[in-house]
Structure 1
Amino acid sequence: MNGLTFVDVCSGAGGLALGLEQAGFEPRLLLDEDQDACGTLSANRPHWNVLRTDLLDFDPSEHPDTYDVDLLAAGLPRVKSSATVGRPESDIEVRLLEATVYLVHAIRPRALLIENVPGLAQAAEYQEFRDFAHAELSHLGYEFSWFVVNAVDFGVPQNRRQGVLVAVEAAVAASFRPPAPTVREAMTVGEALAESMASRGWPDAARWAARADQPAPTLVGGSKNRGGADLGPTGAKRKWATMGVNGHTLGDTVPDADFEWDPERGRDHMVKITVQQAALLQGFPADWEVTGRKTARYRQVGHATPPPVGKALGLAVAEALEADPALSAAG
């Protein structure tokens, strides 16, 4: 699989773009409105063409290299439930979904990939968007697949369900299949973080890892408008506590040799996950650098598409695109 190209919008920390790169795609352009996110992308892939701009302001005519790419990819900010739709902060997420669909008209990719909340693929409350996407794109010759994936099925040590839209040209639509799981057994938090927890000589790292014997709950990046960084809502914090982790905050460093781990004594005696460890729980490689201050870094990580999921989706799209008889004849 060589020579496939993509444009990635709302790129964030680069999880989806990294996965697509691993699947054999080459980016023509990545864009995000956040300065720290753009810094993360450039720090890890200096050769990537990164543009800092709001998707709602993006004019592809000023970037002709975005035309006729194989794939338009978008790991968009999570749309809210019907209980919050109508609030000012929720309108922007719907507008970004719509802007991505409209962008297809301009750049005419051979495939579209949108990743968002699980309900986007199947819940009745999102039927209006599914109808909108179909109305806008079906007459251009795209056929649709809506499905849900869980990151834990692709080697990510986290239960993270994601709703996915893949729209491909009708000529190859019959060849597209949603990705099948790549692992039989879920990776646990302990397996993923044991080495980093022991890196400063903490003697209880192995004992802790044995207790952290399950995948993580979904990491939540949170909003720029609300609070600091933690590991998610109340239910997630309770789940973390069963693993001896204080989910109410993030750590600056992993435990040192003197740390006394005794979860029965309360939060102060539980370990804290660092931003770097959160990135490992999202399936980022250990050397992936996330730029910015701690809370901004965690938000990038928490909002990201896990790269192994991006890779699996990319391979599935690539397999369909390479089934194109025209490409086969050209090769």
Structure 2
Amino acid sequence: MNGLRFVDVCAGAGGLALGLEGAGFEPVLLLDRKPVACETLRLNRPAWNILEMDLLDFVPDEYPDTYDVDLLSAGLPRVRSSATAARADTEEELRLLEAAVLLAHSVQPRALIVENVPGLVDAPQFEPTREFIRKELEHLGYRFSWFVLNAADFGVPQDRRQGVLVALKERYFDAFRPPGPTVSEHVPVGRALHRSMAARGWPGADAWAARAIHVAPTLVGGSDNRGGADLGPTGTKKAWARMGVNGGALADEVPGPDDDPEAMIKLTGPQTAVLQAFPPQWRFAGRKTARHRQIGHASPPPVGTALGQAVAAALGA
């Protein structure tokens, strides 16, 4: 799988791009409007072409290398998918989604991957958006598939359902198959974090890992406008509490030898990155809350790899 080129918009901390890299794709351009996300990308892949810009302001004519790539990918900001969410509540996110699809007019990729919330696949309130996407893609000669993946099925120790749109030019589509699970059993939190939890000699590490026998609840990054670094809303924090984790905040370091072996512990930022299946050498720019938001908003790299491999197979690579 050599020579496959892609453009990634709303790239964030690079989870989707990193996964696509693992599937044999080489980025031509990664775009994100947040300075801290662009700094993260440059920290880890200084040779990548990183553009700090809002997708709504992006003009491909000024970047001719983006034309005629194999893949356009977009891990977009999450739309609100509850049944009570009015369109006005998620207007900006939907505009970015529509902008990503419209970008295919000029970029003309052979394939398109858009990743977002599961509700985008079939929730009634998003039917107008799906109809807009259908008309645009069919006009451009694409066929497409909507489906939902759970990151846990790809070895990520987290229950994270993702709505995915994959579109391919007509001549490639019949060869496309959505990726199937790559693991036979899910990875529980205790197994994923046991080594790090015991790294400073905490006497409760073994017992805690034996208790944390489920995958993690979905990590969330939270709003840029409020809140700090925590593990999510009330229901999610209750699920964490059942695994002996205080989800109200993040710790600066893992428990040590003098900490109570039966205490509720807090996760660290690097541990949440493990739960998103980022490799340990991947660094995140910014302060604690900024790092946590990047991690929580990211697409787990193994899901990107599975999607990339499926697209590459359809393209005949």
Corresponding letter in the other structure for 1:295 = T
Aligned counterparts of 1:80 and 1:48: Cα–Cα separation in 2: 31
What whole-Å deviation, never above 9, does each CA across 1:28-81 have from its counterpart, x for those lacking one? 000101111001101011111001000011111111111100000000000113
User: CA contact under 8 A between 2:202 and 2:261: conserved in structure 1?
Assistant: no
**1:85 matched residue in structure 2:** 86
Displacement of 1:121 after TM fit? 1.1
**1:109 matched residue in structure 2:** 109
Which residue of 316, 321, 326 maps to 2:315?
321
**1:273 matched residue in structure 2:** 267
**2:72 matched residue in structure 1:** 72
User: CA contact under 8 A between 1:15 and 1:310: conserved in structure 2?
Assistant: yes
**2:10 matched residue in structure 1:** 10
User: CA contact under 8 A between 1:261 and 1:271: conserved in structure 2?
Assistant: no
**1:266 matched residue in structure 2:** none
- Going from structure 1 to structure 2, the CA distance change for 1:86 and 1:140 (only over 3 Å counts) comes to closer
**2:301 matched residue in structure 1:** 307
Aligned counterparts of 1:311 and 1:95: Cα–Cα separation in 2: 27
Matched, 1:288 2:282: yes
Displacement of 1:320 after TM fit? 0.3
What whole-Å deviation, never above 9, does each CA across 1:227-249 have from its counterpart, x for those lacking one? 11211111110110011000111
Aligned counterparts of 1:115 and 1:58: Cα–Cα separation in 2: 19
List 4+ stretches of structure 1 deviating above 6 A. Answer: none
**1:153 matched residue in structure 2:** 153
TM-score by length of 2: 0.98
**1:202 matched residue in structure 2:** 202
**1:132 matched residue in structure 2:** 132
**1:98 matched residue in structure 2:** 98
**1:211 matched residue in structure 2:** 211
| Structure 2 counterpart SS, 1:175 | coil
Matched, 1:51 2:51: yes
User: CA contact under 8 A between 1:31 and 1:50: conserved in structure 2?
Assistant: yes
Displacement of 1:86 after TM fit? 4.2
Displacement of 1:85 after TM fit? 2.9
Percent of aligned pairs with the same amino acid? 64
User: CA contact under 8 A between 1:220 and 1:232: conserved in structure 2?
Assistant: yes
| Structure 1 counterpart SS, 2:174 | helix
Aligned counterparts of 1:83 and 1:103: Cα–Cα separation in 2: 30
Gaps of 5+ in 2: none
User: CA contact under 8 A between 2:190 and 2:210: conserved in structure 1?
Assistant: yes
| Structure 1 counterpart SS, 2:196 | helix
Matched, 1:62 2:49: no
User: CA contact under 8 A between 1:113 and 1:167: conserved in structure 2?
Assistant: yes
Aligned counterparts of 1:200 and 1:46: Cα–Cα separation in 2: 32
Which residue of 291, 295, 299 maps to 1:297?
291
Aligned counterparts of 1:200 and 1:31: Cα–Cα separation in 2: 39
| Structure 2 counterpart SS, 1:79 | coil
Gaps of 5+ in 1: 263-268, 324-331
| Structure 1 counterpart SS, 2:235 | helix
Corresponding letter in the other structure for 1:299 = R
Displacement of 1:127 after TM fit? 1.2
What whole-Å deviation, never above 9, does each CA across 1:261-286 have from its counterpart, x for those lacking one? 32xxxxxx311111110010001011
User: CA contact under 8 A between 2:75 and 2:299: conserved in structure 1?
Assistant: yes
| Structure 1 counterpart SS, 2:250 | coil
User: CA contact under 8 A between 2:254 and 2:268: conserved in structure 1?
Assistant: yes
**1:40 matched residue in structure 2:** 40
User: CA contact under 8 A between 2:73 and 2:114: conserved in structure 1?
Assistant: yes
Displacement of 1:204 after TM fit? 1.4
Aligned counterparts of 2:166 and 2:261: Cα–Cα separation in 1: 46
**Number of residue pairs aligned between Structure 1 and Structure 2:** 316
What whole-Å deviation, never above 9, does each CA across 1:138-197 have from its counterpart, x for those lacking one? 021100100000000000000000000000010010000000100010000011111111
Aligned counterparts of 1:106 and 1:303: Cα–Cα separation in 2: 27
User: CA contact under 8 A between 1:157 and 1:283: conserved in structure 2?
Assistant: yes
TM-score by length of 1: 0.94
User: CA contact under 8 A between 2:155 and 2:182: conserved in structure 1?
Assistant: yes
Corresponding letter in the other structure for 2:229 = A
Corresponding letter in the other structure for 1:307 = P
